[in-house]
A and B are shown apart, each in its own frame.
Chain A
Amino acid sequence: MGYVIGVSAYFHESSVSLFRDGDLISFVREEYFSRIKGDNKFPRIALKYLLEHYNLSPKLIDCVAFYEKPLLGFLNIALHAVKHLPASRKLIFNNILKIRNSGLFFISDLQKYLPVSRSKIIFCPHHLSHVLSTFPFFENNTPHIAVVIDGVGDLSCTSTFDVRGDEIALLGSTTFPQSLGLMYSAVTDYLGFNINDGEYKVMALAAYGKGQLNDGFFEVVNSKNEDINISSFDFYKSLTRSYGEKFIEVFGSPYNKLEEFPEIGDSEFRRGVEIAFSAQKFLENKIGAIFDKLYAETRQRNFSLSGGVALNSKLVMELSQKDYVDNLLVPPNPGDSGASIGAGAFGAIKMGFKIKHSKTPYLGPTPIQKKQKDIKLEFLTMIAEGDKSYFKVAELVNNGEIVALVNDKIEVGPRALGHRSLVCDPRNENSIKKLSQKVKRRENFRPLAPSCLTDQLDEWFRVPKNIRRTLYWMGCLVRPTEKCMSVIPAVCHVDGTARVQIVDQSGDAFYKILGQFLMLTGIPILVNTSFNCAGDPIVLDEQDAILSVLRMEINYLMIENILYEVKK
């Protein structure tokens, strides 16, 4: 057996992946265990889980691959910051103060928890990690163009690769600070949301816009010769602010980070949505042009898209609509967190293994971790188990209840796909409102996503063939049909899109619940959102689940196919 571990750490959510003979068998994020959202420290608990769960000793590990070249990235950012002294002094201070918690110390951190020899530790170029993170999720080995777009990794912000099996060659790249990802993050910051967390809120806001600020925005942000006009941004020199003074001059004061985003209808809401719309449009135009150029040069019709920007499902929809795109794959976790999968694949290829394909997006730990005395009955009363429990969940949802599901292995990506989900009836506006605003405390401009049985999909959503696989993990927006708009309008966003998940794993509890709901109501769709309290990571196990239902005041919880009612 050849075991290879991939590690992503120190910047976004840390994670580890495990490959056995080229087969991706596990993926674990540190935040699952630490319960600190966005935990970016060295993933010591996740690593410990892998070692214990798979009985791995250092001798059994062929190699450990890190997801970037840490020295290259450090020097790159440092050189840019030094160029902009004294404005960048706080950024430099901060980077120096935090140097101990950076990738420069990866080897010593790793050897503290997994004493492997230095010769087994390797480093994968960051954007190559992203490219390879798509490999286990392709159905076949189709040659394609891989496009990687993120904030910054090593030196690059945007890279394109020609991929023919294990033959991968860089076609081109743009380097820091020319970053479309950081441009979008700067707008996120300006609108008062947290960077690396609030970008999806900007995308949701953009749907309300009409393009009234497009000309002004493009004038400020666009550059004739490069991707962005860097003088409009501060992210390369400031610790506290990503947007530049020019941004404030043109668009007015930034949004207060401590206040809730203005309500729909408020004039400040309108200003915000127009800025979000322009940023989204700018991103789509720029990346669309990259795709057009690649097609013109290579005539290649198959693409993959990865890097944090690939989490923008509206962008993915726009790209999939290009007539030359036969196939567009976005992996379930295209951001830095998922790059540990790419690093692991890099290590596996180095060790001579072929990466195995067509993997499920459920690769994390199960809800019951170790033999521990059962505390469920202290807080919960059992209602039903086995097949009866699926029917009962459908019945409760039909009666307007919200049910929390914690079944089997946790999802790879940031989106809950039925294993760690809260579900409710898509027809019931009261349930949806309660779920969105009271239980999850989401902003009211954000839509909720539907999950739909695959064989019923065409009746409810218009799904292009070239993006279908990505819908297994909600990677792309689609257009709802007229029937969908009239019967379940609540799952459709204001711009007539929906981020649907398709479900067809017949052994899966979520599939069975959807089937029961279809039999009961004629609707093969449930509203599905992640099971976590605001500001928390998605729940991992039964203890997290119990605590979360208590905090969110949810009455029903299913753990490993057994349905419980929460005691008052």
Chain B
Amino acid sequence: MFKHPAHAQQESKLEQTQALLDFALAEICSGVEMVHAAKMTNNKTLSAGFIRHAFDEYKHAQVFNQISKAIAKRESLLGLSRYLSLNAYDKRYVDRSAFLFEKMSLGQFSIFVHISERYAANHFSRVIEKANILNKEETIKLNSILVDENRHIAFSYASSKKFKMTNPIKYFLFSIVEKINLLKRNINDKSSFVYNFITKILLSLSLFSFRIIAKLIDKTFLKNNNNRFTLSSAISRSSEMF
């Protein structure tokens, strides 16, 4: 898991369950990144390793998904956000503009994976400890995910260590950069409440003016656009966005 979910600090049953659903999405997105890395690298061993890593991530996502559904049913929780991989972009688990392997070198990628996996595993184990909504079987299943995560940490450490031996300065710099990026991502998450609050105030103010503007827009503009048209007339207006 390369990025931890924003709900993970929460206390209520609903929030804890939402956090597990978010973990599922975060795992899927790590899987997506790994598949992409497998397709881009020319190293056969690495490519196969990335596929195996992706397999683990998807398996974890399924476990998180099943457990959160079971809890939602058991605790009669309503109001949970629906689980859709499309939310990956809005929740910033995947970057719209590039996959990690597109913008990072192999060395940088392995340092990123190592730092992120280690951070996520620590964070995840704290979430399991704190969670009071899990039954024994669910706790065992989640702990088995931690075993996989520790294996990923070991692999990515070995890979980043190789890079360190050949490029010690770059290794040092990349590690610093990735740690700063990790911190930035978490600050972004923690400040999302403040961000949303401020945004809502600004939007409420803009809504008032938007209402006035909307009234001013000549509605015949829209009606005119619905006048009968032909393919030829559409072609003649094809450069227009309306």
Contact = CB atoms under 8 A, between A and B. Distances in A.
- A-B interaction: yes
Contacts of B105: none
Interface string B74-104: 0001101011111011000010110000000
Contacts of A169: 228-231
Contact of A36 (B32, B82, B242): B32
Chain A, interface size category, equals 35 or more
B238 A547 contact: no
Contacts of B240: 69, 123
Nearest to B73: A259
B231 A41 contact: no
A170 interface: yes
B217 interface: yes
B34 to A, nearest CB: 9
Interface residues of B, number: 61
Given A79-B222, A369-B39, A543-B39, A194 B84 contact: yes
Contacts, number: 169
Contacts of A125: 229, 234
Contacts of A369: 39
A373 interface: yes
A247 to B, nearest CB: 17
A375 interface: yes
A167 interface: yes
Contact of A547 (B35, B42, B235): B35
Given A37-B86, A543-B35, A75 B217 contact: yes
Nearest to B96: A41
B163 interface: no
Nearest to B29: A36
A372 B38 CA distance: 10
A172 B111 CA distance: 60
Contact of A546 (B51, B77, B80, B206): B51
Contacts of A156: 226
A104 B203 CA distance: 19
A123 to B, nearest CB: 6
Contact of B231 (A42, A71, A119, A166): A166
B174 interface: no
B165 interface: no
A93 B222 contact: no
A128 interface: yes
B180 to A, nearest CB: 25
A85 B207 contact: yes
A546 B50 CA distance: 12
Interface stretch (B2-10, B52-60, B136-144, B153-161): B52-60
B44 to A, nearest CB: 4
Given A258-B80, A535-B85, A79 B228 contact: no
Contact of A79 (B72, B83, B214, B232): B214
Interface of A: 34-42, 44, 65, 69-72, 75-76, 78-79, 82, 85, 89, 92-93, 96-97, 101, 104, 119, 121-125, 128, 154-156, 166-170, 173, 175, 194, 256-260, 346, 349-350, 369, 372-375, 378-379, 533, 535-536, 541, 543-544, 546-547, 550-551
Interface of B: 28, 31-32, 35-36, 38-39, 42-44, 47-48, 51, 54-55, 58-59, 68-69, 72-73, 77-78, 80, 82-86, 88-89, 94, 96-97, 199-200, 203-204, 206-207, 210-211, 214, 217, 219, 221-222, 225-226, 228-232, 234-235, 238-242
